[in-house]
Amino acid sequence: MSPGKPHPSKLSTPRVGPPSETMSPGLLGELPRARQVVDGKYRLMAKVGEGGMGVVFRAEDLRLKREVAIKFLHPRSSGDPERSQMFLREAESMAKLRHPNVVEVYDVGRLRDSPYLVMPFLHGANVEDWAERQGGPPLSPDEVVGIMGQACAGLQAIHQQGLIHGDVKPSNILVSDAFEVMVTDLGLARAVEEDTGELTPPGTPGFLAPELIAREDVPSALVHKADVYALGVTAYWLLTGRMPVGDDEQEAYAMLVKQLEEPVVPPSERHPGLGVVFDEPLLLALDRSPARRPDAVELRDALFAARDRRHVPGAGQRPFVVLVDDDDGVLTALEAVVRATLHEPRIVAVRDPLAALSVIESRPPALIITDLQMPRLSGVEFVAALRESPSTRDVPVVVLTGVGGARDWQQLVRMGVRQFLVKPVTVDI
Of 400 and 41, which is predicted with more confidence?
41
Among candidate residues 156, 160, 181, 157, the one with its CA nearest the CA of residue 170 = 181
Which pLDDT score is estimated for 29? 53
Domain count, the chain: 3
Give the mean pLDDT of 109-129.
86
**Is the pTM of the predicted complex or chain greater than 0.95?**
no
Q: Say if residue 108 is in the same domain as residue 155.
A: no
- The better pLDDT of the pair 429, 170 is held by 170
Residues 181 and 262 in one domain: yes
| H or E element, residue 3 | none
For the beta carbon of residue 90, count every other beta carbon within 10 angstroms.
25
pLDDT, residue 67, reads: 95
Q: Average per-residue pLDDT in the chain?
A: 80
Q: Which of 288, 310, 332 is the last residue of a domain?
A: 310
Instruction: Assess whether 250 and 103 both reside in one domain.
Output: no
**Are 95 and 165 found together in one domain?**
no
Task: Supply the range of the domain harboring residue 63.
Answer: 32-120
Percent of the chain surpassing pLDDT 90: 27
Residue 66 to residues 41, 60, 61, 108: CA-CA distances in angstroms? 11, 6, 5, 16
Decide if 14 is inside a domain: no
Residue 20 lies in a domain: no
At residue 176 the predicted structure's pLDDT band, cuts being 50, 70 and 90, is confident
One domain for residues 116 and 137: no
Where do runs of H (alpha helix) occur along 51-196? 81-95, 127-133, 141-160
Average pLDDT over every residue of 220-226: 92
What integer pLDDT is reported at residue 249 of this predicted model? 62
Confidence check: pLDDT of 157 > 90: yes
Residue 301 and residue 180 share a domain? yes
Is 43 part of any domain?
A: yes
**In contact, 296 and 414? CB cutoff 8 Å:** no
**Residue 398 reports pLDDT greater than 80:** yes
Per-residue pLDDT band for 291 (boundaries 50, 70, 90) equals very high
Of the three residues 310, 332, 360, the one that is the final residue of a domain is 310
Burial 45-60 (b: 16+ CB within 10 A, else e): beeeeeeebbbbbbbb
Is there a cis peptide before residue 424, judged by omega within 30 degrees of 0?
A: yes
Q: Are residues 154 and 168 in the same domain?
A: yes
CATH of the domain at 249: 1.10.510.10
- Confidence at residue 3, expressed as pLDDT on a 0 to 100 scale: 37
- Percent with pLDDT over 70 in the chain: 79
Name the domain boundary from 73, 91, 120: 120
The CATH number of the domain holding residue 331 is 3.40.50.2300
Helices vs. strands in the chain: H and E counts, helices first? 13, 16
Residue 1 lies in a domain: no
Residues 229-255 have pLDDT tens digits of 999 999 999 999 999 987 656 677 777
* Same domain (yes/no): 144, 269: yes
Same domain, 45 and 153: no
Mean pLDDT confidence for 338-347: 82
Q: Which residues are catalytic?
A: 167
> With 50 as the cut, is the pLDDT of residue 197 above it?
no
Supply the pLDDT for residue 18: 34
Which of 69-78, 116-125, 265-274 comes out lowest in average pLDDT? 69-78
Query: In this structure, are 217 and 353 located in the same domain?
Result: no
302 domain residue, yes or no: yes
Structural domain contains residue 4: no
Report the pLDDT averaged over residues 252-259: 77
268: pLDDT confidence band, cut at 50, 70 and 90?
very high
Q: Inform me whether the pLDDT recorded for 7 exceeds 60.
A: no
Q: Is the dihedral of CA 314, 319, 324, 327 positive or negative?
A: negative
- Confidence band, pLDDT 50/70/90 cuts, at residue 8: very low
Task: Verify that 235 and 158 share a domain, yes or no.
Answer: yes
Q: Is residue 171 part of a domain?
A: yes
State the pLDDT at residue 316.
46
CATH number for position 36: 3.30.200.20
Residue 297: pLDDT over 70: yes
User: Parallel, antiparallel, or unpaired for β 66-73 and 107-111?
Assistant: unpaired
In a domain, 362, yes or no: yes
Q: Tell me the residue length of the chain.
A: 429
Which run of H or E residues covers position 399?
A: strand 397-401
Model confidence at 412: pLDDT above 70: yes
Cross-strand partners of 115: 110
| Same-domain pairing of 210 and 331 | no
